[in-house]
Amino acid sequence: MPTITTTDSTSIFYKDWGSGQPVVFCHGWPLNADVWDEQLNLVADNGYRAVAHDRRGHGRSGQTWDGNEMNTYADDLAQLFEALDLRDAVLVGHSTGGGEVARYIGRHGTGRVSKAVLLSAVPPLMLKTDANPEGLPIKAFDDIRAGLRSDRSQYYQDLSAPFYGANRKGSNISQGLRDSFWMWSMQVGFKGAYDCVKAFSETDFTEDLKRFDIPTLIIHGDDDQIVPIVAAGPKSAELVKDATLKVYPGAPHGMAQTIAFKDKFNADLLAFIRS
């Protein structure tokens, strides 16, 4: 398997398909690079170099005890950029991966990045605070941790329903897609999964978003049950200079894999890359 080794000796797995301008994908929690396979194939088929990695603790990457937080995730991504000599890249992040993209730009700038896409992303801040009253209360994230401790396999099976909107009336979400979510999720080490809850929920990306100086596309569904839109996409669009915000009516959190929305997302993604 293709991997790089970070400065703290962690193995990071990655996929590298096609050739041309790189498009780099960062996945959500608790998944891995496989969730992006259709988009990787799409951009590689259209003359781009498609790259996606498994975040540390997830998938085929090393399961470290330490470093399961946004600064280290962003630094791992920077080391992947350097090892593969990625330049002029389009950086795409979904959910927690959107936080990874934001923190990468906040810490490492845009010298190697020409555009960014934030899809159903956690920035600027998921947690409810005095300064962020639209956020989710800490109990929501404590409940996630409790689910992991109690029966994480069943928890992941249950989570797939709101993730893809399978719990909505008239849903056409297949059992196969939900099974894929469970399979990817079960590859995350317990420590990495547990620590990442704090990373995606309590990290404030406000200052990172203010450092964006590249064209940025922000996409969010207004029926996102995982990262509710009220504290996410529109707020990020206000912080990123000249960002383009697209709200998909009825779209769930995992829209990029759903029959109802993936074609629209893929078309918007490809058009933005080409623009």
Cβ proximity of 6 and 76 under 8 Å: yes
Bridge partner residues of 117 (DSSP): 92, 217
Q: Which residues of 150-174 are buried (b: 16+ CB within 10 A; e: fewer)?
A: eebeebbbebbbbbbbbeeeeeebe
* Strands 22-26, 216-221: pairing kind: unpaired
Q: Is 27 a catalytic site residue?
A: no
Tokens of 193: 């999964």
Residues 6+ apart with CB under 8 A from 45: 18
- Which member of 16, 94, 95, 208 is catalytic? 95
Q: Is 224 a catalytic site residue?
A: yes
Peptide bond into 22 cis (omega under 30): no
Q: Is 179 a catalytic site residue?
A: no
- CA-CA distance, 221 to 232, in Å (whole number)? 10
- Which member of 75, 76, 208, 224 is catalytic? 224
- Name the residues annotated as catalytic: 95, 224, 253
